[in-house]
Structure 1
């Protein structure tokens, strides 16, 4: 029996006491009128009535409750509730209510999760279809035009072949990024952890993207002069990919004649935080929670003038999380954005 007196027992006891009192009262009146009144006989009769009434009522109540509760358990078992299926059937209403409430909460959470995943799946396949469709149709259009006779024009042939090649290159880029993000998500992409100078790596990225930034007259700068190296422990190639993606994004959505500034700060004893800050378009607060989703774009018009696979930020997030580190974003619309991530600092 549980620490607290079961409600069914209390019900049976109170009912049996009530019945015993009424029966004993009637018997006492009967004895008083027709026979000699004996207090011990009355008490013995009262106790016997109470005891047997309790047994009968408790048995009947439990049987009634058990049958109803068992039906509930059977119905829930059909829904494969392991917590209820493996445990004994209880007739205690408080315990049953708690179990049913827990079951309902778990199922509600499971259903909500499935709905979110289903919505995410629909969006993902829609986005993949859209991303692949554009370059495929572009390549198909140029090839069909060449086959229809434009191939005889040497200048036009070269022009169309170059454009078709760019479409194939974009397709390859999307497929490559999809393959990488899938490997990151399932943990198949191993990291090659090594010690390297993060300042030198960022300088290399600046040199790599100098021409791209020059086209929009954007300056790539450090917040200060880092005369000494800052050594971190991470996968150098992957971190370079993170820095490239973040700086490319800042150039794409930066203002003409703007700046992209990188800073490296000590966070705690063995951590540094790398910040990439720009004074570009900024991001509306409503879009920030979904910014790292695959193919999510703030620009709902579907414009692809800036290129890219739409997977850059998703890959960045997965690479940083694969290092057991954190990535953050702060942005004000029409003011600018700051992406930052942590890395393990070596002594």
Structure 2
């Protein structure tokens, strides 16, 4: 049925193209006859009216082709391109009628299809990269565990000290694998928007003071310098999930500890208000990050050190997870860094007010 309708439209369009020169020839013939028989006034008037009618009809047909048939033909060609998988098609729209509106809608649809196809391709590339990175990151510790276990089984290790050293290395790699699996599980839930949040409106001063006290105790146990200052003038409320914000801050602080020298590392945190956000600066005096690598540090599995296996306790997902957690709070995370001077991560969370709807 649809096939026959399509043929009817094509026949109508072809007939219109054929009739146009016919009308022109008829008009020329009528004008010729008018000059051949000028004596009969009635005949001249009738011929004149008929010519005017034909001219008007010709103009109407031309207008019909331009405003109706050509745009519909464009739409047909566009639909064929979409059917063939070409989602980048964009039709020129020279009409402002209902068909012009239909062409605009078609272009919007094609644009969304093209965007979805691009996202699909990017997702597929990311999936392949993710699988490759996971395989690489799991292979190294598993190979190490296997090697040390075989050494123990073969009787290579005889002294208790050596045995204890081997067991510690096996334990360290096992902890790393477990942490990598946990981070992957968390990141996948964040990526699919399936992670549950226990959001509540909290006074930020008390919450952050308790959190910084906990980090201060842990870092001092490791002999690291840690300072916290609260520069907020009021006890603003922030809508947040305690556990997720704790995890985001821990990932950033943990990242600074991993890649800095423990003997000289100083961590300074500062809480303050900026515009409609409560901000927390986490500043360290570590090695810093090169400017050309700064925009990549939130990419999953990205490590500034090109030797991916240099630090087996780093999964390469910590900063990615931190960014996703802050984004889920309608916040943002920024970073500034100078090589050999240190880095400063800024977490910004929106202030919770009665006017601001909860996410």
TM-score normalized by structure 1? 0.75
- Which of 166, 170, 176 in structure 2 is aligned with 1:160? 166
The aligned counterpart of 2:44 is 39
Residues of 2 paired with 1:330 and 1:305: CA distance? 23
Kindly state the Cα deviation for residue 43 of structure 1 after the two structures are TM-superposed. Answer: 1.2
**Gap change, CA 1:296 and 1:267, over 3 Å in 2:** same
- The answer on whether the counterparts of 1:296 and 1:310 sit within 8 Å (CA) in structure 2 is yes
Using the alignment, how far apart are the partners of 2:46 and 2:138 within structure 1?
96
User: Which structure 1 residue ranges, 5 or more long, are not aligned?
Assistant: 1-7, 85-89
Aligned to 2:341: 335
Match of 1:197 in 2: 207
> Which aligned pairs between 1:210-289 and structure 2 lie closer than 5 A?
210-212=220-222, 214=223, 219-223=225-229, 233-254=239-260, 257-268=264-275, 271-289=277-295
Shift of 1:74: 5.2
CA distance in 2, matches of 1:169, 1:78: 51
For 1:59 and 1:272, how far apart are their aligned partners in 2? 62
- State the distance in 2 between where 1:247 and 1:63 align: 65
The 10-residue stretch of structure 1 (150-159 or 73-82) with the greater mean CA deviation from structure 2: 73-82
Distance 1:70 1:113, change over 3 A: closer
After the TM superposition, which of the residue ranges 48-57 and 122-131 deviates more from structure 2? 48-57
- CA gap 1:337/1:93 in 2 versus in 1, 3 angstroms: same
Give the match for residue 4 of structure 1.
none
Q: Distance in 2 between matches of 1:310 and 1:289?
A: 15
Instruction: Say whether the 8 Å CA contact 1:279–1:336 is kept in structure 2.
Output: yes
Please, what TM-score do these two structures have when normalized by structure 2?
Answer: 0.73
Change over 3 Å in CA distance of 1:202–1:230 after alignment to 2: farther
The 8 Å contact of residues 267 and 283 in structure 2, kept in 1 or not, is answered as yes
Would you say the 8 A contact 1:283–1:337 is kept in 2? yes
Runs of 5+ consecutive residues of structure 2 not aligned to the other structure: 1-13, 90-94, 354-359
Inter-partner Cα distance in structure 1 for 2:168 and 2:44? 115
Q: 1:100 to 1:285 in 2, by over 3 A?
A: farther
1:174, distance to aligned residue in structure 2 (A): 0.9
8 Å CA contact 1:81–1:103 kept in 2: the answer is no
The answer to whether the 8 A contact 1:261-1:278 is kept is yes
Give me the whole-angstrom Cα distance separating, in 1, the residues matched to 2:189 and 2:107.
39
In structure 2, the CA distance between the partners of 1:116 and 1:66, relative to structure 1 (3 Å rule), is closer
Q: Deviations over 1:70-111 (max 9, x none)?
A: 7525524635899x9xxxxx9999668756655654454344
Q: Deviations 1:39-88 (Å, cap 9, x if unpaired)?
A: 31321331353366568778899998599557525524635899x9xxxx
Q: Which moved more, 1:309-318 or 1:152-161?
A: 152-161
CA distance in 2, matches of 1:46, 1:208: 99
Structure 1 counterpart SS, 2:37: helix
Q: Give the alignment partner of residue 309 of structure 1, picking from 296, 300, 315.
A: 315
Count residues with an aligned counterpart: 326
Per the alignment, in what secondary structure is the counterpart of residue 150 of structure 1? coil
The aligned counterpart of 1:72 is 77
Q: State the Cα RMSD in Å.
A: 4.3
Alpha-carbon deviations, 1:18-55, whole Å to 9, x = none? 556523321112214xx645431321331353366568
